[in-house]
Amino acid sequence: MAKLTINEDACKGCSLCIQVCPKHILELNREKLNAKGYHPIGIINMDECIGCASCARMCPDVVFTVER
Amino acid sequence: MAKKLMKGSEAIGEAAIQAGCRFFFGYPITPQNEIPEYMSRRLPQEGGVFLQAESEVAAINMVYGAGGSGARVMTSSSSPGISLKQEGISYIACAEIPCLICNMMRVGPGLGGIQPAQGDYFQATKGGGHGDYHLVVLAPSTVQEAANMVMEGFDIADTYRIPVMLLGDGMIGQIMEPVEFADYKKRELPPKTWAATGWDDKTRERAVINSLYIEPEQMKVVSERLLKRYALIKERETQVELYNTEDADYIIAAYGTTARIAKSAINKARQMGIKVGLIRPKTVWPFPDEAFSKAADTAKAFITIEMSTGQMVEDVRLAVNGKKPVEFFGTLGGFVPSTEDILEQIIKLKEAHE
Amino acid sequence: MAVVFEKTKMLTDVPFHYCPGCTHGIAHRLVAEAVEELGMQDKAIGIAPVGCAVFAYNYFNCDMMEAAHGRAPAVATGIKRVHPDKLVFSYQGDGDLASIGTAEIVHAAARGEKVTTIFINNAIYGMTGGQMAPTSLEGQVTTTSPYGRKREHCGLPIRMSELIATLDGACYVERVSLHDVPNIIKAKNAIKKAMKYQMEGKGFTFIEVLSTCPTNWGKTPVEALKWLKENMIPYYPLGVVKEEV
């Protein structure tokens, strides 16, 4: 049981988090543009998140808050 | 404290210590090595820090760090070394960090020589480094005055958050004269709440010591602030000595060592019946325009005497503003003018403009 | 549920200006977290360089100074001599530290200044648009080495950590990398250890951080991490270069 919160407006869509997520539950949200003009990162399936915080540690823009 | 016979350079060092300066960063260069040497002996005795930097460039940036974190700090050098410091001085001016920079001028350009000269006037008063800025530039003509100016210079620096330069020549640094340190009365100074000292006091803003303003609007605000401050400094801090000018037909303009020799020549000329006086800028920036402009109403002609090819003469001409002729006499190569040299110039000036 | 990761208060709310995927942001966070975890937020004074990290003073939530290009170690020296009880760190890139500022970094290390230098090595000049750095690899194409860096023409890249480690004043030198999560965790531990040694008065501490510059390398952020791992690490080996405390 874990919870991931995303500060969408800080995201630059670099996708570094996607490749370090062991559960493959992160994906750019192509439907959306944030204030900076990027497709922000989104969560496909929150239920699968294990709260490992790999995404948060890899993120250059401190987009994630992780609870577990 | 009683009067003590001291070398100019050592008096400068002692004056700094008396004024509460506890940090000195420098690099050896002739003819000012006695300043860092003196500080390396004295500062540890006072619980201060003397550090010989790896270069003048590093030294001025150590001054940036120490001054930016609130310390009363100084550096000293001579002409080629001052050139190396100019980048740092420009940053210090923009970041509004108070400090004292001492230049014991030697002859140039290039490596030049180690004899006294006044060839760094333009560099000191017109900027020196890049960008729009000024230093307050104090030009002593005796050892006592050098000591007083060091002490006052620190206070001016702290009052206006501006780098102050003591512009001496090799002569002022090397000469020995009696000096005392009794007269220093520290000004009331604003607290350095802007300094980067670690943000434990959250009642103040987070301190950022910086000279980067990438937005033109922000840079403009900084430049306008500096401009206002320079105007205030000009109004309040301009210093000039008038010597025998009340009835003078002829006026010598000179600063530093040249001015004291000019005084001897004026005394001799007065004995010969020539009414000649001296206007000696003690601050060469801000320049005492008014003293010259006023004298131009009554005097017949001016001559500027410098150990250079002619630098301050431009400011004298701007101040006299065409009202009267302004001649120039300069000694080159590191030669100091003699009383006779100057007397000869006075006589020539009289003959040309009687 | 408990919070296992949140943004450190040692970073301000100002969003980083860095390009997407640039690892400067990770390095900033690690430095900030290290300061916070050591409880030194109120006693830290940081120095920003000239280069991409020039605006670092906007991001670190402590007193900051902006130094001239390459002069951060001299500025750090000035601060630390006035405030020996404060945590003083400089954050410099490879052009700043390994080119124009070599004299300052070498002498700060030689004197054993009790400061911590974070050295970001991304093998290129980022801010000015991708010119060759002293750390650019042999053969690396940049805007000023369009035919690739050639040894006969401008020598081989400088290994700053090994150079600094030769100086007696340097007590702790480690090279870390930001190309994956385990290495990011190691990098933070190294930075924290360096700051701890500084506060214990052990000497000069230097952490070289291998970083990416996707924009000027002409790669996606993910490709850039791979390029770092495959090309930089063989030339710039990771690990403790010196730890004599």
- Cβ distance of C6 and A1 shorter than 8 Å: no
Amino acid letter, residue A23:
K
Q: Do residue B134 and residue B93 come from a single domain? A: yes
pLDDT digits (tens, 9 = 90+) for B317-350: 999 999 999 999 999 999 999 999 999 999 999 9
Q: Is the pLDDT of residue B93 over 70?
A: yes
Tell me the pLDDT band of B184, cut-offs 50, 70 and 90.
confident
Picking from C17, C52, C77 by the largest number of B CB atoms within 10 A of its own CB, the best residue to mutate is C77
Show residues of chain C in contact with B211, CB under 8 Å: 66
Which one of 1.20.1250.20, 3.40.50.970, 3.40.50.300, 3.40.50.2300 gives the CATH number of domain C24-125+155-243? Answer: 3.40.50.970
Q: Do residue B259 and residue B331 come from a single domain? A: yes
Which residues, in sequence order, are CB contacts of B284 under 8 Å at separation 6+?
Answer: B121, B124, B125, B137, B138, B139, B167, B255, B312, B315
Tell me the pLDDT band of B279, cut-offs 50, 70 and 90.
very high
Q: What are the residue boundaries of the structural domains of chain C, listed by start?
A: 24-125+155-243
Domain that holds residue B15: 4-237
Q: Is C62 on the interface with B (CB under 8 A)?
A: yes
Task: Identify the domain boundary among B184, B214, B237.
Answer: B237
d(C-alpha B79, C-alpha B113), whole Å? 10
pLDDT digits (tens, 9 = 90+) for B41-64: 999 999 999 999 999 999 999 999
Q: Do residue B197 and residue B328 come from a single domain? A: no
Phi first, then psi: what are they for C191, rounded to 5°? -60, -40
Instruction: Please state the rounded mean pLDDT for residues B102-121.
Output: 97
Domains of chain A, each with CATH number or no CATH:
3-67 (3.30.70.20)
Q: Is the pLDDT of residue B1 over 80?
A: no
Q: Do residue B171 and residue B294 come from a single domain? A: no
Look at residue B207 and give its three-state secondary structure: coil
pTM of the predicted model as reported, rounded to 2 decimal places: 0.97
> Is the interface score ipTM higher than 0.95?
yes
Amino acid letter, residue B215:
E
Q: Do residue B215 and residue B250 come from a single domain? A: no
For the record, the structure tokens of A13 come out as 């869509």
Q: Is B51 on the interface with C (CB under 8 A)?
A: yes
CA distance C225 to chain B (A): 31
Show residues of chain C in contact with A3, CB under 8 Å: 1
Residue in C with minimal Cα distance to B206: C63
Look at residue B304 and give its three-state secondary structure: strand
d(C-alpha B321, C-alpha B314), whole Å? 10
Q: Do residue B45 and residue B177 come from a single domain? A: yes
Task: Identify the domain boundary among B167, B202, B237.
Answer: B237
> Whose CA is closest to B145, among B181, B171, B120?
B181
Looking at B1-55, list the stretches that DSSP marks H as alpha helix, in order from N- to C-terminal side: 8-18, 34-45
Assess whether the previous peptide bond of B191 is cis (omega < 30° from 0): no
Touching subunits of A (3+ CB pairs, under 8 Å) are C
For tokens 């490879």, the residue is C94
CA distance C185 to chain A (A): 8
C1, C4, C20 member nearest A13 (Cβ) = C20
Show residues of chain C in contact with B212, CB under 8 Å: 54-55, 66
pLDDT digits (tens, 9 = 90+) for B142-173: 999 999 999 999 999 999 999 999 999 989 99
Count of domains for chain B: 2
Question: What is the average pLDDT score of chain B?
Answer: 97
Tell me the pLDDT band of B182, cut-offs 50, 70 and 90.
confident
What are the distances in angstroms from CA B180 to CA B18, B50, B88, C111?
11, 23, 33, 37
Instruction: Please give the pLDDT value at position B2.
Output: 83
Amino acid letter, residue B344:
E
Q: Do residue B233 and residue B245 come from a single domain? A: no
Q: Is the pLDDT of residue B291 over 90?
A: yes
Instruction: Please state the rounded mean pLDDT for residues B261-268.
Output: 98
| Spans in chain A with pLDDT lower than 50 | none
Residue B347: CATH number of its domain: 3.40.50.920
Q: Do residue B162 and residue B279 come from a single domain? A: no
pLDDT digits (tens, 9 = 90+) for B122-132: 999 998 999 99
What are the distances in angstroms from CA A36 to CA B215, B342, C16?
19, 71, 12
- Cβ distance of C64 and B206 shorter than 8 Å: yes
Q: Do residue B204 and residue B249 come from a single domain? A: no
Beta bridge partners of B236: none
Residues B167 and B284: beta-carbon distance below 8 Å: yes
pLDDT tens, residue order, chain C (245 aa): 999 999 999 999 999 999 999 999 999 999 999 999 999 999 999 999 999 999 999 999 999 999 999 999 999 999 999 999 999 999 999 999 999 999 999 999 999 999 999 999 999 999 999 999 999 999 999 999 999 999 999 999 999 999 999 999 999 999 999 999 999 999 999 999 999 999 999 999 999 999 999 999 999 999 999 999 999 999 999 999 999 99
Instruction: Please state the rounded mean pLDDT for residues B18-33.
Output: 97
